[in-house]
Homo-oligomer: A and B are copies of this chain.
Amino acid sequence: MPLPPGPFTGRTLSDLARDLRDGRVTSVALVERALGAVAALDPALNAFVTVDAAGALAAARRADEELAAGADRGPLHGLPVAVKDLIMVAGLPATMGSRHFANHVPGSDAVCVTRLREAGAVIVGKTTTHEFAYGPTGDRSANGPSRNPRDPARMSGGSSGGSAAAVAAGIVPLAIGTDTGGSVRIPAALCGIAGFKPAYGAIPAGGVFPLSRSLDHVGVMAGDAAGCLLAYRCLGGDVARAEPGAVRVGWLDPAGLSDGDVRVADAVRAAADAGIGGMEEVKLPEGFAQEVRETYTAIQSAETAAVHAERLARAPELFEAEVLERLRVAAELPGWRYVRALEARDQLAEAAEALFGRHDVLALPAAPIVAPLLGQRELELDGRPVAVRPALLSLTSPWNVFGLPALTVPAGTVAGLPVGLQLVARPGAEARLFAVAAGVTTGA
């Protein structure tokens, strides 16, 4: 059964910014609504690990005073925001979803948090992450699984599951997450909101606990693509303001990348056709999907095992069991396979570049399935067994390998559960990405 709407359900960041400036609401009032919604809705969601009521209210008062004094920090000024628990906020616990960091309180802000504060945003709390962000399901964390607002028996997706659930439930209008193989886009799609993973490095990763350094991205999640664009710009993202001309969009059949639910592919395709229209089919080169998958897995395994080697040796029992098992496998990947994967990445990047030869933006689902039940690791689709984890990652992780900007926007539902349309572009073409998304979200 879906949760009732929260105070920010259906409210865009622009609406809220206008209300604040028109004096119809204060930052303190917005933060009080967010805190009230945490109390009312979060017991069913487990989206939050830490709520900083006192800090948030103090920041909201300052935001109101600044606005009253004519010091306007821009569109995020006074708006409540939630931050994934993998991202450092000075003075608030950062558990990384792990018992290894049960008592960890960082002394300084991550770069993206500093930028949020400079933009006037008010940090309400820290959101549940899959342990160390190592999983797209969002259901293995020291503080328990985050749950899907459309059906709390189902997973939020992950690893930024708490951030997605908090925005989707209308508890906050904006959240920050990280995306190494889809960890912003997958939960955004499964929960029915928009999520944007910028180009590699576009939002600095300083102060973010690493999962896999060459694949890690900081991203933003909001109710719609316009909210993501607005937040991305406030975080330092450079997106051209001139209207792009005609944007050529190609449709990438998800069946070329992954097994999945044909109803999801059809629903997303229908939303794309309605909002975009005139898409040509884009074909992946022979072998591309498998090579990208293997390349992603090798890079991610070696880099993740490098982050956790000491913990794995000294205190393996503190990891959640599934995460521990995956880390142990990752730690055994031979070095030469990682070397090969780095070489393959360079070669595959040329093939990926060629996908954009005739198109500015590629469209495909963000995930090939709807949100599975919590803990579910295998589905049956048309009598075929489908492994949940690789399926969830299959359509998003290729763009991490190449560091391409990728956005997911809500694209309707299948059996009452949200699906997401993913749009992918080359770095520098973000304005086209968001222009296409604007058409889809209007049309959806």
A residues lining the B interface (CB < 8 Å) = 298, 301-303, 305-306, 309, 330-340, 343
Given known contacts A333-B334, A334-B335, A335-B334, is B298 in contact with A340 (CB within 8 Å)? no
Please report the C-alpha to C-alpha distance between residue A339 and residue B339 in the assembled complex, in whole angstroms.
9
Residues of B contacting A303 in the complex (Cβ-Cβ under 8 angstroms): 336, 339
Please report the C-alpha to C-alpha distance between residue A332 and residue B331 in the assembled complex, in whole angstroms.
11
Nearest-neighbour CB distance to chain B for A213, whole angstroms, equals 8
Please report the C-alpha to C-alpha distance between residue A254 and residue B85 in the assembled complex, in whole angstroms.
49
- DSSP majority for the A interface? helix
Residues of B contacting A331 in the complex (Cβ-Cβ under 8 angstroms): 334, 336
Residues of B contacting A302 in the complex (Cβ-Cβ under 8 angstroms): 334-336, 338-339
Residue of B nearest to A304 (CB): B336
Q: How many copies does the complex hold?
A: 2
Residues of B contacting A305 in the complex (Cβ-Cβ under 8 angstroms): 334-336, 339
Please report the C-alpha to C-alpha distance between residue A339 and residue B212 in the assembled complex, in whole angstroms.
10
Residue of B nearest to A305 (CB): B336
Partner of A301, one of B309, B332, B335, B340: B335
Partner of A339, one of B332, B336, B338, B340: B338
Nearest-neighbour CB distance to chain B for A309, whole angstroms, equals 6
Q: Identify 19 residue pairs between A and B in the complex whose beta-carbon atoms are under 8 Å apart, listed by A's number.
A: A301-B335, A302-B335, A302-B336, A302-B339, A303-B339, A305-B335, A306-B335, A306-B336, A306-B337, A306-B339, A306-B340, A309-B340, A330-B336, A331-B334, A331-B336, A333-B335, A335-B338, A338-B338, A338-B339
Residue of B nearest to A327 (CB): B336
Max chain B C-beta neighbours (<10 A), residue from A298, A305, A332, A335: A335
Partner of A337, one of B298, B330, B335, B340: B335
**Contact call B335/A309, Cβ cutoff below 8 A:** no
Please report the C-alpha to C-alpha distance between residue A324 and residue B326 in the assembled complex, in whole angstroms.
31
Residue of B nearest to A312 (CB): B336
Please report the C-alpha to C-alpha distance between residue A4 and residue B339 in the assembled complex, in whole angstroms.
47
Q: Taking A306-B339, A331-B334 as given, write out 17 further A-B residue pairs in contact, using a Cβ cutoff of 8 Å, ordered by the A residue number.
A: A302-B335, A302-B336, A302-B339, A303-B336, A303-B339, A305-B334, A305-B339, A306-B336, A306-B337, A306-B340, A306-B343, A309-B336, A333-B336, A334-B334, A334-B335, A335-B337, A338-B339
**Contact call A334/B336, Cβ cutoff below 8 A:** no
Please report the C-alpha to C-alpha distance between residue A298 and residue B336 in the assembled complex, in whole angstroms.
10
Please report the C-alpha to C-alpha distance between residue A431 and residue B48 in the assembled complex, in whole angstroms.
62
Residue of B nearest to A338 (CB): B335
Residue of B nearest to A308 (CB): B336
Nearest-neighbour CB distance to chain B for A212, whole angstroms, equals 9
Residue of B nearest to A337 (CB): B335
Residues of B contacting A333 in the complex (Cβ-Cβ under 8 angstroms): 334-336
Residue of B nearest to A332 (CB): B334
Please report the C-alpha to C-alpha distance between residue A334 and residue B305 in the assembled complex, in whole angstroms.
9
Nearest-neighbour CB distance to chain B for A302, whole angstroms, equals 3
3 closest A-B pairs by CB: A302-B335, A305-B336, A306-B339
Please report the C-alpha to C-alpha distance between residue A283 and residue B337 in the assembled complex, in whole angstroms.
37
Residues of B contacting A339 in the complex (Cβ-Cβ under 8 angstroms): 302-303, 305-306, 338
Please report the C-alpha to C-alpha distance between residue A338 and residue B336 in the assembled complex, in whole angstroms.
9
Please report the C-alpha to C-alpha distance between residue A315 and residue B345 in the assembled complex, in whole angstroms.
27
Nearest-neighbour CB distance to chain B for A191, whole angstroms, equals 33
Please report the C-alpha to C-alpha distance between residue A227 and residue B148 in the assembled complex, in whole angstroms.
72
Residue of B nearest to A309 (CB): B336
Max chain B C-beta neighbours (<10 A), residue from A298, A301, A309, A338: A338
